[in-house]
């Protein structure tokens, strides 16, 4: 799978550990920064880059790491066609894809460690949207809300 990944200064160490692990698992990873520790960088820059990569189809899914994951999730969800979820557990990691067609996951590097992050990302990447009528109906409503602004 082609995955876009990005992080601000707070998420940089987690991103730097997840990227080689993802690559060793057979994924093509597009690293959108940060590349250096800069305590003055801002999470919206990296969250937007990952979200735009998913929006354009350059990446099938996206991963954003920041301190809590909250700001990254808010930012990514401003991009049309992106359904980002803040996930700190494996259930949310797969359920967000299965029920809500989530295509970007946000991780709080100050909340979850590397081992749990790997489990969450594994659940996220291994899941597929379940095209049951109730899930599709809800996704259609979500898309209508997005289209209406």
Reply yes or no on whether 65 is catalytic: no
**CB burial string 34-66: b at 16+ within 10 A, e below:** beeeeeebebbebbbbbbbbbbeeebebbbbbb
Instruction: Report which of 62, 70, 72 is spatially closest to residue 41, judged by C-alpha positions.
Output: 72
Is residue 149's pLDDT more than 90? Answer: no
pLDDT one-digit tens code per residue, 6-26: 999 999 999 999 999 999 999
Distance, in Å, from the CA atom of 130 to the CA atom of 116, rounded to the nearest integer, reads 25
pLDDT at 119: 98
pLDDT at 112: 97
132: confidence class by pLDDT, cuts 50, 70, 90 = very high
pLDDT at 100: 98
> CB–CB of 73/101 below 8 Å?
no
| Residues near 76 by beta carbon (within 8 Å), at least 6 away in sequence | 47, 48, 50, 51, 62, 64, 82, 84, 104, 106
pLDDT one-digit tens code per residue, 67-126: 999 999 999 999 999 999 999 999 999 999 999 999 999 999 999 999 999 999 999 999
Fold for domain 2-148?
A: Ribose 5-phosphate Isomerase B; Chain: A, (3.40.1400)
Domain ranges of the chain: 2-148
The residue from 65, 66, 87, 106 that is catalytic is: 66
pLDDT one-digit tens code per residue, 15-61: 999 999 999 999 999 999 999 999 999 999 999 999 999 999 999 99
Strand 104-108's sheet: what is its strand order?
Answer: 28-31, 2-7, 61-66, 104-108, 84-86
Cα 8 from chain centroid (whole Å): 13
Question: Is the overall model pTM greater than 0.95, yes or no?
Answer: yes
Distance, in Å, from the CA atom of 18 to the CA atom of 15, rounded to the nearest integer, reads 5
């Amino acid at each position: 799978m082609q995955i876009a990944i990005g992080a601000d200064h707070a998420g940089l160490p987690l991103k730097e550990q997840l990227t080689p692990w993802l690559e060793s698992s057979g994924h093509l990873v597009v690293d959108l920064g940060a590349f250096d520790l800069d305590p003055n960088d801002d999470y919206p820059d990296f969250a937007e880059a990952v979200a735009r990569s998913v929006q354009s189809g350059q990446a099938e899914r996206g991963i954003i790491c920041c301190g809590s994951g909250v700001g990254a999730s808010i930012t990514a969800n401003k991009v049309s066609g992106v359904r980002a979820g803040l996930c700190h557990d494996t259930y949310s990691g797969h359920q967000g894809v299965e029920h809500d067609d989530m295509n970007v996951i946000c991780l709080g590097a100050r909340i979850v460690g590397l081992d749990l992050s790997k489990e969450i990302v594994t659940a996220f990447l291994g899941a597929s949207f379940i095209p049951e009528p109730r899930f599709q109906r809800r996704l259609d409503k979500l898309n209508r809300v997005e289209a209406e602004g």
